[in-house]
Structures are given as structure tokens and as C-alpha cells.
Chain A
Amino acid sequence: MSTNVAQFQEAAARVTADTRQRQFIRTALGNYEIARDKRKAAFQSWESARQAAALTKWEAVNHLDTHLEELVAKLEARGTKVHWASNGTQAREIILGIVAAKQAKSIIKSKAMTSEEIHLNEALEKAGFEVVESDLGEFIVQLRGEAPYHIVFPSMHLTRGQIRELFARELGSTSSDSPEELTMVARRVMRHKYITADIGFTGGNFAIAETGMISITENEGNARLTAALPKTMVTLIGIEKVLPKLADLALFLPMLATAGAGQPLTCYNTMYGGPRQPGEADGPEEWHVVLLDNLRTELLADAEQRDALHCIRCGACLNVCPIFRNVGGHTYGTTYSGPVGSVITPHLRGLQDWKHLSNASSLCGACTEACPVKIDLHHHLLHNRRNAATEKPAFLERMGYKIFGIIANDPLFWSLAKKFGWLTQPLQKLVMGTALDPARAWTKTRDLPPLARQSFKDWWKHRP
């Protein structure tokens, strides 16, 4: 067993044993579902909107080269500096280079999963820069030295009490545990940071080829401020984020808000087309856009799973996933958790090392049903399982299935197997649920149904 799977199993066992935590997550996501269903119902046709969004993304991803070239040409025409990074190391070097050239001291960041993906904060801090996450949830997990729990709701696993203690310890705040007061503590800390930061760092939700823009979706206004006040702005975005037309956002913005958080529209949806332009009041003097591949082209090369690049990181698949709900975000040990993380992580970080995430699914399909861009998520889990078993079959498992096939395909063997099972069943009862029980994985928590004395096939054969 690889260490990853052992860690996953261990973490899963720990979290699932914590009924209080599971209930806490379930309540939060239950409320999300109510809001989401209300917003979905407001659409004239949510299903058609999904289909249209899937078609648009399909077009964008399947002509990625031309869209990217158009995007970059348009961005550069307005004075934006575009950088291409094949992998995380290059992206970090580019960003560190910019920060160093500006002799920056502090960097204010708005939420970006791509920066988690390339471990940017660690790199910047190691190089001696101060990095502050400005999104409240990200700020909280940053203070705790943790990874985000969820790609959209980074701190949803924490109670207000835990956050109050954290703020008291780290910020010396004397706030009560009202969410309102705690938010204001963060607001005050952050105000100062915006004003003094040399660099504003953001991610991006969509890149518009037609007009050369990056669209950022957020609720708090932190990205708006990050893109307004510091003199230099740096944006890191995956190459797959392209949409062909500006007007495509008319569909994607409300769908992202609905699927992601059950909102009609996220509070701030902002499209940036360049650094401060002549005649404008403010904005950064320089804007650097870093386009990140980091094995996205590998996923692109897998035509069967190419639609995984349609992902708009809305988090809907996490929210509805019964696995995610019961094991929580940190158990995955990945940047992208939940169903979409289980699908893409094997492509980004190695199939054999991360295939267990594809196995850790009941294939219920709730994710696929929830996905606003119709990614075939749960079938891709199946495809990952197939690819993993084909590439490197587990000897015993494969033999087991071969033997099972021989037995199942032969009526005599099949009936003998049932007889054998029926005869040995009383022995199994003696060790039920103990370490000696060969079916312990099942029987530790569940009873086994008895094998029927007369199977269906026996009944059929002997019926008058």
C-alpha cells in the first residue's frame, strides 16, 4: 500500500469517527443545497444552461491554442505583460522574479487555487517576502498554517469559537465569537495591508479571448482592492480558463454563482483588461499575467477526460459528494479535493500514487449531476480505475477477478461455490468482525446476510 493511500485511509477513519464534525459540514452544505435549488429554479432552464455552458467550454478547450493566442495578443496590446509557465517551478520563478525586481516587501493576495497548486506562498515566504491572504477564509487557514478545506469555502470546517481563539492568539483580538465581529477584525487588519502592499496577487476565473480580459469572481471585495491599490499586479491563471467571447460571461457568471454558492450572482464579478490606462484614476502601473500549464496539456491529451478541463472550480461537486461530506477536504491531501480533485489529481501528480482517490468513490454520480459544465466526473473515476489497473494491475486482485469470472461463467462451479459458502458460513459466524474474519472489512460495522439455503437458481431448476 502506498503511503498516500494509507494516509487517506487513516484520515478518513479519523474524520468519519467525528460525528460532530460530520454533522457540522452536513448542516452547512444542506443550507447550501436549499439556496442552490432556489436559484436553479429561477433559471428558465437550468438543464439547457448546463448544456450551453458545456458546449461553450468544449469549444474553448478544443480550440485552446487559437483562443490562447488571441487572448495573449489582446492582453499585450493593452500593455499587459504575459508570461508562460510550463510547470510550477517556472511559475514560481517568474513570480519571484517580478517581486524581486520591484524590490517588494509585502504582497497581498486574493484567493487563487492555482497558487495553492504551485505552493507559491511557501516559495515567497522562503524568499523573505510577507504574503497575506486577503480572502477571509483563506486568511483564517493561512493563520492556522493549513491548506484550504474546500476550493470555494476554505474555512468551512471551523467553528466561530475556533476562529475567535485563533484571532486572539495570532492577532491579539478581543472579539467575541460573533461572525460579524470576527469579520470586522479581519477587515481592520487587511485595510492596512492593502494600502501598504507593493504587489497585488490574484487568480482568475475566466480569461476572455475576444477582448483580452481576465474575469475575477468574489464576494468580499478583496480582489477588487487587490487589483486597485498596489502598484504592481500579478495574476496567475491556468491555460484552460479561456472563454471565447465576452458575452459568454452572461451565462457563466450566474451559473458559477448558482452552482457554487446558491447565489444569483456573486457580489463582485470584475473583468480586467490591462494595467491602469491613460486617463484612468488608479490601478496598477504594471500587470503581469502568468499562464500556467503544469500538466494541463497532459489532461488535454486524454481525449476521453478532456472535459475535466471545462471545470470552473465552482465546488458544486464537492458540496454534493457524500464522500467529501463524510471525510472532509483535508483527508484528500490534494490541492483540489472532492470529485474533481479525484479525477484530475492522478493526471497532475501521478496515476499510481493517486488512483486511490478514484477508488474511494461509490460512483453514485451526484457530482456529475451537479456539475454546471457537465463534466462526466464519476465515469472519469471509473476511467482512472481502468487506466490504473491496465497500466499496473494488482496481482491478487486480478487473479481474484479471473477466478471469479471462471466460477460465474460455469453453472456447476457457481452452484458449488454457493454450497461451499453455505457450509462454511457457520464458521465465519464464530469469528464475525474479529481480526480472524476474512470478511472483516465488511463485518466490522455490518452484519452479513446469510446465504440462502435454496438459491434462486435452485428454486428455478426444481420448480414444478
Chain B
Amino acid sequence: MNEREKILTRIREALKVPAPSPGTHAPASHLPVPGVPGLPSLRVPAPTTAAPVEARRWLPKVGPGFPEQLALFAQNAADLKATFQIFANWTELNAALVQLRDAENWQRVASHQSELSSQACAALQRPVCWTDKGYDVLALESCDVGVTECDALIAQTGSVLVTSRSAGGRALSVLPPHHVVIARREQLVADLPAAFALLQQKYAPEFPSMMGFITGPSRTGDIERILVLGAHGPKKLTIFCV
């Protein structure tokens, strides 16, 4: 028997005794006293199945329409200390990019070949390190900004969903000190369940080897639990939407 077999055998042996159903020992609910104002009741409708579709009912609420979702995304991005802007057209977006370039004095840009990011790079008029076909790590590291596309923006959490296919590989969105995401407004989805549904629909079964949610710029609280941005990944995250 190899280790795989040994471990699986041990698991099967162990599982012969059934376990009590989950949460049965949970503390009693705090019933409210009728007619006495006090703490809210902790009793809640219990989920009946663990099916993922139900998650939407428990997770933070997201409004149904685009304007609400956009507002929620903007609010979340602001809380996360990311910059989010939506533009009426490409001209405005390009102008904002150029302004950012000059403000931060970008000399070298890193990006990948795709419609939105290529267009952005054209506007920036700086030498570009393209990651698509492999790249020199030191060259990428010395870029001032990484410009990528994404798969979705998630209103519920203010996250950007990227994959190794949609965002020029694994390192581009995390190695340069500033990550700029260029997205279309149609890419805004309501919540995490919607984001996972999108991944399934777009890629299954040949998923990209890396898929990830980016929720604000890189951060740490490891020194006295004080928030510092730019621990290892980008110090800045800018999301431009058109």
C-alpha cells in the first residue's frame, strides 16, 4: 500500500462512525423577552442545505440595479483605499491616465496585449514591458505601473477579479508598485456568487492556472496592527472604468 492508499484507508475507517450533525451543541439562542426592549433576537432562520446558491441570502446585501451596485462598488473601493473612477468615454479615461502618469512620473509601463490595456498603453506613450510571451523579471520589477484588464468588478466587496489569462499572467498585477485596472462598466457584477458563476461559465473546465480576487492595494497590519499599504504587492490600486 502506498501512502495515498494508507491515508484513504484510514479516512474510510474513521468515517464508519457517523458524526453528530453540525452546530448541535451551539449555545442557546438569546430569545427576546416579550414586551421588554433589549438586545435583538439572535434566532435566525437556519439554512436547510449547504448549497452555495444560498450564500447570497446570508452575505452582505447588494441592491439589484446598476446604479446601486456602482455606488456600492465605489464606496467599498474608497473604504479599501483604492481609487475608482468611471468615465463616459475613452478620451476622458486616457486623459486621466496621462494625468496620473505625469503626477507619478511613470517612466516604464508594464502591461499585456488585450483590447483595453493596449489602448491604455497607447495613450500613455511610455516604453512598455509586455508580459504575454514571458518577460524579464528585473525589467518588470523596474516598471512604475502594471496596467491590466480584469474579469469582473464585484460590487459587494469592492474587489477586482483577475486571472492569469485576463490580466497578463500572475506577476503583472502584483509586482509593480501601482496596479491600474481598466474595466468596462458591463463587467460590474453584484456579488461573490455571481463572480464564481462567471468564472465557471467563462472558463470551465479549462480554468486559468491562477484566478484571484484583489480587494484593495496590498496591506499589512503586522506591526502593532496598524494598517500599512504596499506590504509586498502594489501600494496603489487604481480602477478605471469606461
Contacts and interface: CB of A to CB of B under 8 A. Distances in A.
Note whether A and B contact each other (Cβ less than 8 A): yes
Interface string A111-150: 0000000000000000000000011110010000000000
A365 B25 CA distance: 11
Q: Which of A42, A54, A184, A304 has the most CB of B within 10 A?
A: A54
Given A68-B8, A160-B224, A281-B168, A187 B52 contact: no
Given A156-B225, A267-B214, A300-B15, A220 B233 contact: yes
Interface residues of B, number: 100
Interface stretch (A8-16, A44-52, A323-331): A44-52
B231 A219 contact: yes
Contact of A227 (B17, B210, B225, B233): B210
B134 to A, nearest CB: 6
Nearest to A190: B232
Given A52-B50, A221-B233, A228 B170 contact: yes
Interface in A282-317: 282-283, 291, 293, 297-298, 300-301, 303-304, 306-307, 310
Nearest to B195: A250
Contacts of B116: none
Given A179-B228, A297-B7, A225 B175 contact: yes
Contacts of B39: none
Interface string B51-93: 0111111111100000000000000100100000000000000
Interface string A346-380: 00000000000000000001001100011010010
Nearest to A293: B7
B225 to A, nearest CB: 5
Nearest to B207: A273
Nearest to B233: A221
B174 A225 contact: yes
Contacts of B19: 58, 61-62, 303-304, 306-307
A16 to B, nearest CB: 21
A224 interface: yes
A387 to B, nearest CB: 15
Contact of B135 (A186, A269, A281, A301): A281
Contacts of A229: 137, 171, 175
A267 B197 CA distance: 21
Contacts of A300: 10-11, 14-15
Interface residues of A, number: 116
Contacts of B45: 45, 48
Given A253-B192, A281-B132, A221 B231 contact: yes
B27 to A, nearest CB: 6
Interface in B1-54: 2-4, 6-8, 10-15, 17-27, 42, 44-47, 49-50, 52-54
Contacts of A183: 220, 222-223, 228, 230-231
B74 to A, nearest CB: 14
Given A136-B222, A179-B223, A280-B169, A268 B215 contact: yes
A163 interface: yes
A222 to B, nearest CB: 4
A56 B50 contact: yes
A281 B59 contact: no
Nearest to B26: A374
Contact of A303 (B18, B193, B211, B212): B18
B26 A368 contact: yes
Nearest to A161: B224
A227 B164 CA distance: 12
A301 B7 contact: no
Interface string B146-176: 0000000000011100001100111111110
A462 to B, nearest CB: 37
B100 to A, nearest CB: 21
Contacts of A224: 170-171, 173-174, 212, 232-233
B218 A220 contact: yes
A37 interface: no
A48 B47 contact: yes
A378 to B, nearest CB: 9
B50 A268 contact: no
Interface stretch (A82-90, A99-107, A333-341, A443-451): A82-90
Q: Which of B191, B199, B210, B218 has the most CB of A within 10 A?
A: B210
A257 B64 CA distance: 24
Given A154-B222, A219-B218, A251 B209 contact: no
A155 interface: yes
Contacts of B133: 281
A442 interface: no
A300 B208 CA distance: 33
Contact of B23 (A44, A254, A374): A374
Contacts of B223: 136, 155, 158, 160, 163, 179, 182-183
Contact of A248 (B21, B52, B164, B220): B52
A155 B2 contact: no
Contact of A301 (B13, B205, B217): B13
Contacts of B53: 247
B208 A44 contact: no
A84 B9 CA distance: 13
A174 B197 CA distance: 49
Given A225-B175, A264-B60, A283-B209, A291 B226 contact: no
A90 B53 CA distance: 39
A387 B191 CA distance: 45
B208 A62 contact: no
B3 A250 contact: no
Interface in A155-183: 155-156, 158-160, 163, 179-180, 182-183
A153 B233 contact: no
Contacts of B207: 211, 213, 273
A294 B226 CA distance: 36
**For the complex of A and B, 9 pairs with smallest distance between CB atoms:** A221-B233, A281-B169, A270-B212, A55-B50, A220-B231, A228-B170, A137-B222, A247-B52, A301-B14
21 contacts: A43-B59, A56-B50, A58-B50, A65-B15, A84-B3, A135-B222, A179-B224, A183-B222, A187-B230, A219-B218, A219-B221, A224-B170, A250-B192, A253-B213, A254-B157, A268-B215, A273-B207, A281-B169, A297-B14, A307-B22, A379-B25
Given A43-B58, A219-B231, 4 more contacts: A47-B44, A57-B22, A266-B215, A300-B10
